[in-house]
Amino acid sequence: MKIGTVQTALKKASLVRLSPYIKVLINPAIKLKTTPVKDAQSEAKLPVGISKVGGVPDLPAGQQWPVWKDIPQSFVAQILLSDAAPYDANHVLPEQGMLWFFYDAGQETYGENPQDAGGWRVFYSSDVQHLQRATIPKALPAQARFKTCTVSFASTLTMAQQPQLEVADLTWNNDDQAKYDAVYARFTDTGDKTLPHNQMLGHPETLQDDMRLQCQMMTNGVTDIDDPKVAELTKEANAWQLLLQVDSDERIGMNWPGSGMLYYWIKLPDLQAQKFDGTWLVAQSD
């Protein structure tokens, strides 16, 4: 995907009025390509502290394995940020350190209720020199343990699915959306559909509704879209930034509800301040 090519396609689709907002509609992201480790012996030989999806985390000394409702959470991924930094076009991630991602082992946390808070965990450490391979808790169910994938990174561009959510006061109707959908499909319906679509940052590959207002409502204790507070909350919804999108991956036994995806969200000011205790997770099904 190239910005100039997208602009040309929008012009041909009679959507030239979107051109001034092209840098809002197209955001850089980091693509994560995952490669399953062949066997347990190969996994045991992996260096401590590398980026990986699934497997066993390498944790700082004293870091407890996260628990939700008395059950250890599933380990989803660890990202060595020096691996990702060269591909972070807007330089919003910490350049050093490690991020860890966990999720409800029962896969019953969807981010649809304020009480879901705690059903996942994201934490960060700037120190990656003193990590230890963790011991899997005996109480972690077998189906909540995933095989290991190593990770490689690449720069990519992602396209918003609904321009009216990105551009304030945009005049927009169903016919406009249909034209835009055709352009969107042209530039995003690429690559191997059988491989997981994992990424950091950028516009997510949304399977259902836009998630930012949901994050804003849930973290403010609001569940009813007709609540009078929603109008004010909507003004700050776009402060939420995708942190990590993790696809289902049958190769390693990672099958999220409805063969869907997990999306870890964070407010951009929190990300810039390297504060990861206020994330919100949404699980969507295909």
pLDDT tens digits for range 209-222: 999 999 999 999 99
Which is nearest to 124 in space by CA: 244, 29, 220?
A: 244
For residue 164, the domain's CATH number is 2.30.320.10
**Dihedral (CA of 122, 117, 262, 30) sign:** negative
Residue 282: its pLDDT value, please? Answer: 98
72 within 8 A of 66, measured Cβ to Cβ: yes
Average pLDDT across the chain, whole number:
95
**Residue with structure tokens 């963790």?**
134
Q: What is the DSSP letter of 189?
A: S
Torsion over CA: 266, 269, 271, 275 (sign): negative
Residue 38 has pLDDT above 90, yes or no: no
| Residue environment code for 205-235, b if the CB has 16+ CB neighbours within 10 A, otherwise e | bbbeebbbbbbbbbbeebeeeeeeebeebee
The whole-angstrom separation of Cα 223 and Cα 45 is 47
Instruction: pLDDT band for 40, please (50, 70, 90 cuts).
Output: confident
Cβ–Cβ under 8 Å, residues 217 and 233: yes
Q: 69: pLDDT confidence band, cut at 50, 70 and 90?
A: very high
Specify the pLDDT at position 279.
Answer: 98
DSSP per position, 118-165:
TSEEEEEES--SSEEEPPPPTTS-GGG----EEEEEEEEEEE-S-HHH
Of the pLDDT bands very low, low, confident and very high (cuts 50, 70, 90), residue 2 is confident
Per-residue pLDDT reduced to its tens digit, 88-108: 999 999 999 999 999 999 999
pLDDT at 256: 96
**Residue-level pLDDT at 56:** 96
149-158 tens-digit pLDDT: 999 999 999 9
Residue (of 101, 40, 52) closest to 80 by Cα position: 52
Number of separate domains in the chain: 1
Its domain, for residue 204, covers 3-284
